[in-house]
Structure 1
């Protein structure tokens, strides 16, 4: 029977020419709209390779009605599997270069948010409150015109990461919460 057949998961990813930046990663299983998920720092996962975050996002989103896949973007598009590596890069990046990267990334995120079925923030405590976080929330929410969702909240009110463990682990099938920056 057609309806009982598992749906193939298709994949793509967009990297910079130099390979140091991952612009987006996509996984989809139907023609229904995709969710836009925003994390903190991209890994080396790509079209041919998953990482634990991508696998968990597939598990959390695959059976959600009206969602045909997801596009994963990050607050910073510099590949840094370890958040400490991203912090080191940020400290060493000159201000003009960092601003140019962030402007381009925010423009890309805003464009993707406009086409997304819903936007999910999932960066844990890795995006500190401040101007960049405010601009990121504005791009994702289209300046407050669309709600932002989260899988859950950290103790500080930050949007929980899909790989959270222990009591914070996101159960499969859990409802998404509406997330408002600064609430907690």
Structure 2
């Protein structure tokens, strides 16, 4: 399948990504037209970037277009790039055990998420049950909900039994339909 092009032969989908290093991604962005801009907060980045989408970003592309958005930015609780959450967890544990570079990247990432959340038209969360550190999740959510206004509501596509916002790649009975209406996860 070829990607849609505009009348001048340029891709309709504009892709960008901000990598601090090849293994630390702060933001993944997709823009295709006018409309509101969303922020999606996941657990950890896979390997999507400027030149490729992964299954999660493909799902977001379809969903946000269907619901009238013109763009989205994706950030993560943990900025460490890996398609394997276990590898991300190892890096987070190392960050809090003396790996100062990763610790600093983790803390700077929170400031970045907060700025993106306060600039977005709507904020979605989808880290699923793989976000293992409830204290860190609460810290990030609290940073979004405090400080300088605005204090955005946090939306999701469903929740796990534990109350975590479901990830779009959830399988089985937790699978999210492409036309799933957004659900309020936490109000401001």
Matched, 1:114 2:145: no
Partner of 1:57: 60
Aligned pairs (5 A) from 1:2-151: 8-16=12-20, 18-65=21-68, 67-93=69-95, 94-95=97-98, 97=100, 98-142=102-146, 145-151=151-157
| Structure 1 counterpart of 2:184, from 172, 178, 183 | 178
Q: Deviations over 1:151-178 (max 9, x none)?
A: 1111111000011111111112211111
Gaps in structure 1 of 5+ consecutive residues: none
Secondary structure class of the residue paired with 1:78: coil
Alpha-carbon distance, 1:142 to partner: 4.8
* DSSP-derived class of the 1:174 partner: coil
Shift of 1:28: 1.2
SS at match of 2:138: helix
> Residue 37 of structure 1 contacts residue 72 of structure 1 at CA under 8 Å; is this kept in 2?
yes
SS at match of 2:129: coil
Determine helix, strand or coil for the equivalent of 2:177. Answer: coil
Q: What RMSD over aligned residues (CA atoms) do the two structures have, in Å? A: 2.3
Between stretches 93-102 and 131-140, larger displacement belongs to: 93-102
Preserved CA contact (<8 Å) 1:150 1:176: yes
The 3-state SS of whatever aligns with 1:25 is strand
Structure 2 spans left out of the alignment, 5+ residues: 1-5
**In the alignment, which of 165, 175, 179 is matched to residue 169 of structure 1?**
175
| Secondary structure at the counterpart of residue 128 of structure 2 | coil
TM-score w.r.t. the length of structure 1 is 0.86
* Structure 2: distance between partners of 1:141 and 1:148: 10
TM-score computed with the length of structure 2 as normaliser: 0.84
In the alignment, the residues of structure 1 paired with residue 38 and residue 93 of structure 2 have an alpha-carbon distance, to the nearest angstrom, of 31
